[in-house]
Structure 1
Amino acid sequence: MQFLFEIEDVFDIGGRGCVLVPGVPNTLRRDVKVGELLLIVTPSGNEVRTNIAAFEHISRGRPMVHAPFSLPRAVTKADLPLGSKVYFLNATHA
């Protein structure tokens, strides 16, 4: 398992799903693809197992050092409290 980031913001985009910010760090030294398995651990200890559905292009007015991505529509914003930690689920990605 490899830590990716702590959730700072979640955008619920109708018809697409939730987008997690900041996202995959650009400094990660490997390719990250749609379908990558994730484990999200909430501050209360709940676990959400999911995958990357799509990478999103978000303009924040400055260069981004992370790649935000969306999750499958079955995962809701209520499942993703701020401060949750996002990990690659597959240990071979470390």
Structure 2
Amino acid sequence: MQFLFEIEDVFDIGGRGCVLVPGVPYAFGQDVKTGAQLLIETPQGTQVRTNIVAFEMINRGRPMVHAPFSLPRAVAKSSLPVGSKVYLLGSADV
């Protein structure tokens, strides 16, 4: 399990699902692709296991050094509070 980022914002896009920002750092050092398995741990200790559905293009008005991505529609924005930590799971973690 590898730490990716701490959630700064979540956008709920109708018909697509939630998009997590900032996203996977471009300098992460390994390829992260759609379908990658994630563990999200909230500040309260709740864990959400999910996967990346798609990488999204977001214009935040400044150069980005991360790739935001969306989650399955079944994952509710309310279960993804700001400050939650996002981890990439390896095959041994799944």
Determine if the TM-score, normalized by the shorter chain, exceeds 0.5: yes
Matching of residues 41-52 of structure 1 within 5 Å: 41-52=41-52
RMSD: 1.1
Cα distance, 1:90 vs. partner? 1.2
> What is residue 32 of structure 2 aligned with on the other side?
32
Match for 1:38: what amino acid?
L
TM-score when normalising by structure 2: 0.94
Match for residue 68 of structure 1? 68
Amino acid at match of 1:25: P
What 5-or-longer segments of structure 1 have no aligned partner? none
Where has structure 1 moved over 2 Å in runs of 4 or more? Answer: none
Residue ranges of structure 2 left out of the alignment (5+ in a row): none
Give the TM-score of the pair, scaled to structure 1.
0.94
Distance (whole Å) between structure 2 residues aligned to residue 29 and residue 6 of structure 1: 17
Alpha-carbon distance in structure 2 between the residues aligned to 1:91 and 1:7: 23
Equivalences, count: 92
